[in-house]
Structure 1
Amino acid sequence: MSKLGTIIESLSDAVGAVKVMSGSGAIDLSNPKRVIGMVKSNKLIGPTATVLAHKAIDIPDAPAVSDEHGTLTWAEFDAQVNMLGNAFLGAGLRPGSVVGIIARDHRAVPMALCAAGRSGVRLAMMNTGFGATQFAEVATREGVEAILYDEEFSELADTLPDDLLRIVTWTDGEQPIRADARTLDDIVAAGDPTPPPMPEAFGGMVILTSGTTGLPKGASRNKFAPFASALILDRIPLPRNGSMVIVSPIFHSTGFALWGVGLGLGNETVLMRRFDAEKTLAAIERHRSQALVAVPTMLHRMIALGPEVIGKYDLSSLETVVVAGSALSPTLCEEFQDAFGDVLYNLYGSTEVGVATVAQPAELRRAPGTIGKPPVTSHMALFDDDGRRITATNTKGRLFVRTGAPFEGYTDGRNKDFIDGYMSSGDMAYVDDDGLWFIAGRDDDMIVSGGENVYPLEVENLLAEHPHVDDVAVIGVDDDEYGTRLRAFIVLAEGAPEDPDALRAHVKANLARYKVPRDVVYIEELPRNPTGKLVRRLLPTGPLEA
């Protein structure tokens, strides 16, 4: 693209983003003085801490955060954020110090996000699925100087040096608390609620990638693009001064992003430490929540409750269900909307890319499984293996994305592949004649079997339609004759028989012969991380027992 074209595109994106954010209520252009003040504040304490301060003034008595301990109003939440920020500084942390947090979804997570901004420290969001070795390696790599953790993660926290500041964010009374650790409850019971001294610059944060193929990489967020919220609000209708149930982990980019946008809209955030399908429905009813944020495996469990259980709850307030984090199969897409109505929004993106596309309910009805269309400020491009642009429809290529929330690189100094300003998503994709985008699979998941290119995702989606199948994963394994062959791992539907020939026949009737899995392996449960992504490296690839 020419320099003039880039300028014109940037101006068009900015105008479109402002229009979206103004129309949704995320910014109020009628008060330019406040807008200018918030822009300045964002540079010093970050957007979430800035927005919180204004909500505590505008709607102090409205609910801000609800969890198993109850509900905090915006004024209460703001005061407790200040207490935690002052505790960081009082313990000797300095602006720029790195604080790690490993906690389930409850008030401490958004509190830590805002308190880090107010005190100028840098927050590293740790994955609750970590083992001890992973946790210690990531904490060392990120330079963690203090750790916030739920009691259940005490053994992980104990792998870190003894001189670190320790704050226990949730206690169950099942494990002893170290004598040198403080508790969040103690801090907010007797802390200083006045705002900490304004730092010279925003400390930033680190969100980890999913780590399905190795040690999770850290994605830096030292600043936030002013129009990043428009990527979500352009195609997803979120409530304003309403309520959102977020069961997608906030330590992951999807949960964090939707929480942040909801914060800006003045929404109550309803959190649960562990996902339970029926308790989620109960929370929607109790809080009259208009939005739910989840991952596909959670939707699957909600559907599995059946119409009798689902019908027990008044879900008439629910208008928007945002799903992201892993691939949404066409079958799950149709089943969910049949059970809960046309409220589903399929968000496609990643920690690095941000929000690339969103599929709206009508699009998912027309083309189940589509990832939809790019929102304002998102631009998509396909390239072949030689880096040549693909412009034809219904033609697979490597997907590259450019958005209004540019990637800042990994904390270990590495970066993603770029072509003409577009960043690699790591996926293969195509766009149809109606402008709807579809993911064909990961570009590194493609296998060559007998000289033919095969993407396991296509076979997975087809097997997911079979009535015998509750969950499925397909991978490539070594084969002496064909080089690589497909192996399907099947979680049986309740009451279904083990009938591998029926599954092979189903694939053979719908796809080419070389896409039929040679191996069909029945397992109790697929290995998935807390965000619902399949951890393929944990599936056995060696010879099967006879």
Structure 2
Amino acid sequence: MARLIAIDQPAGPDFVAELRRIWDAGDAAVPIDQRLPKAARDELRRSLRVGDEVEPGDALVVATSGSTGAPKGVVLTHDAVAASAEATSRRIGVRPDDHWLACLPLAHVGGLSVVTRALHTGAKLTVLAAFDPDRVMASEATLVSLVATALQRIDPTRFRAILLGGARPPDDRPANSITTYGMTETGSGVVYDGVPLDNVEIRITDARHRRDVDGDIEIRGPMLLRSYRDGSDPKSADGWLATGDVGRWLPDGRLHVVGRRGDMIITGGENVWPEAVEAALADHRLVHDVMVRGVDDPEWGQIVDAVVVPAGPTPPTLQSLRDHVKQRHPAFMAPRRITLASDLPRTNLGKLRRGPIADASA
């Protein structure tokens, strides 16, 4: 009986060896984010049912977050992993002498897919424990996957090709970079520089059925998830996945992604759900009420802004809010800005409106 096995260790050669061992035994692997506190890692194991049975052919379960911040496990089969690796390798023309560098968190599909791509194609692979500009520059790798924040900290001419995902890419991105669009449910990027990979279908759903208007992006292809770990399948009966993103077709036929329909904040390539941060800040002794939102930032894409109604005459400091959040979540979820307000905008049902705060002070 195949089971789900956790890889709860830092990135590096031992991580890759453990993934190989799990696959050779016929089991599926779930990488555990090393930045999570122990209690959160234990809860993730429980929610994803580590140790329980998986379906034949399952290769990976990759944790993501829903709109409430609750973790979901995306189940990717070996066939899906292979389809993703082959389509990506064809698009960027991977050569026998190419060498992949994995320096993004392996608990996320953007980092993990570098490892699985190299394992499937037999390409040379180096895995760093974390992003380190000096070690990235000293690497002999020719191919790398980065987010915009990391790109700004290296000399991009060092690599033959750079896959760039996460937050919005810089306007002056280097010529050897390739912008990618995808998500955990698609097994990594499936659209490169606006062009779908081989065997990937994209459609924009809109009542008027015009190519030049915004609509919901839906994807179909062999690298999509089988299901979530709870057994639910977000795909339609004919295999289409609603991404929750909005986009349009450009005149030259490329896909342009306008943005997320929801409130997710993407900061330095990391996904942050406001509700999870708000829940962490709710019991701060100096916080009466709080709303978390994303604010555009030239370095991080977005930063997490905590709009706080103080509980008394003394407002909390930004550092105290960051420390409070980091007791429960990784540091990237902690706010980088605090905005003080006398009240927060809400609907009649009490739901926060995440628009501008007219009477806020920075």
Normalised TM-score (structure 1): 0.47
Q: Is 1:205–2:43 an aligned residue pair? A: no
* Alignment deviations for residues 326-378 of structure 1 (CA, whole Å, 9 cap, x no partner): 1223xx241x41xxxx110111111112333111xxxxxxxxxxxx1111111
Q: Is 1:376–2:232 an aligned residue pair? A: no
Show the counterpart of 1:151. Answer: none
Q: Is 1:122–2:17 an aligned residue pair? A: no
1:230-379 equivalence runs, <5 A? 230-283=86-139, 287=140, 289-302=141-154, 310=155, 318-324=159-165, 326-329=166-169, 332-334=170-172, 336-337=173-174, 342-354=175-187, 355-359=189-193, 372-379=194-201
1:377-396 equivalence runs, <5 A? 377-384=199-206, 388=207, 391-396=209-214
Amino acid paired to 1:115: R
* Alignment deviations for residues 486-542 of structure 1 (CA, whole Å, 9 cap, x no partner): 97747698xxxxxxxxxxxxxxxxxxxxxxxxxxxx9799999xxx99759997687
Q: Distance in 1 between matches of 2:294 and 2:223?
A: 37
On the 8 A contact 1:319/1:343 being kept in 2, the answer is yes
Report the CA distance between 1:222 and its aligned residue: 3.9
Normalised TM-score (structure 2): 0.69
Task: Point out where structure 2 has 5 or more consecutive residues left out of the alignment.
Answer: 275-290, 300-316, 343-359
Query: Structure 2 vs 1, CA of residues 236 and 424 (structure 1 numbering), >3 Å: closer, same or farther?
Result: same
Runs of 4 or more consecutive aligned structure 1 residues displaced over 4 Å after TM superposition: 200-203, 210-213, 485-488, 490-493, 522-528, 532-542
Report the CA distance between 1:271 and its aligned residue: 1.6
On the 8 A contact 1:116/1:203 being kept in 2, the answer is no
Q: Distance in 2 between matches of 1:211 and 1:414?
A: 13
* Alignment deviations for residues 413-444 of structure 1 (CA, whole Å, 9 cap, x no partner): 33325385321111111111111111111112
Alignment coverage as a number of residue pairs: 297
Query: Structure 2 vs 1, CA of residues 411 and 117 (structure 1 numbering), >3 Å: closer, same or farther?
Result: same
Q: Distance in 1 between matches of 2:67 and 2:131?
A: 21
Report the CA distance between 1:134 and its aligned residue: 2.4
Amino acid paired to 2:62: I
On the 8 A contact 2:318/2:336 being kept in 1, the answer is no
Query: Structure 2 vs 1, CA of residues 202 and 428 (structure 1 numbering), >3 Å: closer, same or farther?
Result: closer
Q: Distance in 2 between matches of 1:202 and 1:248?
A: 26
On the 8 A contact 1:123/1:206 being kept in 2, the answer is yes
Compute the RMSD of aligned alpha carbons.
4.0
Q: Distance in 1 between matches of 2:262 and 2:226?
A: 23
Report the CA distance between 1:281 and its aligned residue: 1.0
Query: Structure 2 vs 1, CA of residues 142 and 323 (structure 1 numbering), >3 Å: closer, same or farther?
Result: same
Q: Give the match's secondary structure for 2:34.
A: coil
Query: Structure 2 vs 1, CA of residues 486 and 128 (structure 1 numbering), >3 Å: closer, same or farther?
Result: closer
Task: Point out where structure 1 has 5 or more consecutive residues left out of the alignment.
Answer: 1-94, 147-199, 303-309, 360-371, 447-455, 461-472, 476-484, 494-521
1:444-523 equivalence runs, <5 A? 444-445=262-263, 489=295
Q: Give the match's secondary structure for 1:227.
A: helix
More strand by share: 2
On the 8 A contact 2:205/2:218 being kept in 1, the answer is yes
Show the counterpart of 1:140. Answer: 46
Q: Is 1:102–2:17 an aligned residue pair? A: no
Quick one: percent identity of the two aligned structures? 19
Q: Bigger radius of gyration, 1 or 2?
A: 1
Amino acid paired to 1:298: A
On the 8 A contact 2:72/2:228 being kept in 1, the answer is yes
Q: Distance in 2 between matches of 1:431 and 1:266?
A: 35
Q: Give the match's secondary structure for 2:241.
A: strand
Query: Structure 2 vs 1, CA of residues 328 and 534 (structure 1 numbering), >3 Å: closer, same or farther?
Result: farther
Q: Distance in 2 between matches of 1:400 and 1:492?
A: 29
